[in-house]
Amino acid sequence: MAKILITGGAGFIGSHLCEKLLQKGEEVFVIDDLSTGRMENIAHLKKNKKFHFIKETILNRKKMEILIKKCRKIFHLAAAVGVKTIIDKPLESFLININGTEIVLEIAAKYKVPVLITSSSEVYGKNNNLPFKEEDDRVYGSIYHNRWGYGLSKGSDEFLALAYFQEKNLPIVIVRLFNVIGPRQSGAYGMVAPRFIKQALSGKPIMVYGNGEQTRCFADVEDITDALIKLINEPRARGEIFNLGSSKEITIKALAQEIKLLANSKSKIVFVPYTKVYGPNFEDMAHRRPDLSKIKNLIGYQPKITLKESLKKIINKG
């Protein structure tokens, strides 16, 4: 079995990916500085002799070279997480995303190790041409608004990866993730589903930002990690970009109502202006729905877990 490196493997998606790869008998190395990842996400994996955890930043070039040299595949998940992080720490967020990815790609190219990079639906910015297709234009707001820093940095990561593919023949796959949810996801960085669930279970008001009419598409982490593994193992995916998530939309207000119902909560649903949370000049996307035909055609991707099933699973784990 191949040795596999997961950057950001102590995070929400990374920890589920670790579980899946270990179940397949793979040997997994994780590097994570625990800035947003958590030890409790991977504590249950440490007894597995094929699991190795290194607490370190991906900006440590020497440590990254040691790890990449011994591995045969890389899942690059390490990144600044969440809208709130990007607004509060724009410099740190931008540098982690850009410099970290450049280090991964440069060393991977040296040893010809295939890399799957997780990008984000944020790269589409304010584009309203739904559903989003991989080749669509990007539309961003003013450079003075930190809000767009994440999308810009992830877009730069994509350009870097494609350049390494074209000029250095590095096998890369780029995956744009759309609103992934599941157990172990934190609401601390602005993620809406875990935040609503925590508020509902504690009986506190469920805080909906804006008017709640904005829509999102939520996919379960189990479906997402299955697809990530298939993509890195599919030679035809190399040098390509894929949307990954669900295409079933729900308004954020309806999501709050569904969570309140499933959690049997007495919480009130309260609407809070964006400016109170993120400050002046904040802009949000009204809709964010992916076209999934490309990934369906290549690997037969089809989400199996419904939003209701996914929410129940999270609620039951408290």
User: Which of 81-85, 150-154, 163-167, 197-201 is predicted with the least confidence, judged by mean pLDDT?
Assistant: 81-85
CATH of domain 3-180+220-247+289-304: 3.40.50.720
List the 115-120 sheet strands across, edge first: 51-55, 27-32, 3-7, 73-76, 115-120, 172-177, 240-244
- pLDDT above 90 (res 132): yes
pTM, rounded to two decimals: 0.96
Residues 46-75 have pLDDT tens digits of 999 999 999 999 999 999 999 999 999 999
User: What pLDDT, on the 0 to 100 scale, is given for residue 1?
Assistant: 67
pLDDT at 187 over 90: no
Catalytic residues, by residue number, are 150
pLDDT digits (tens, 9 = 90+) for 188-247: 777 999 999 999 999 999 999 999 999 999 999 999 999 999 999 999 999 999 999 999
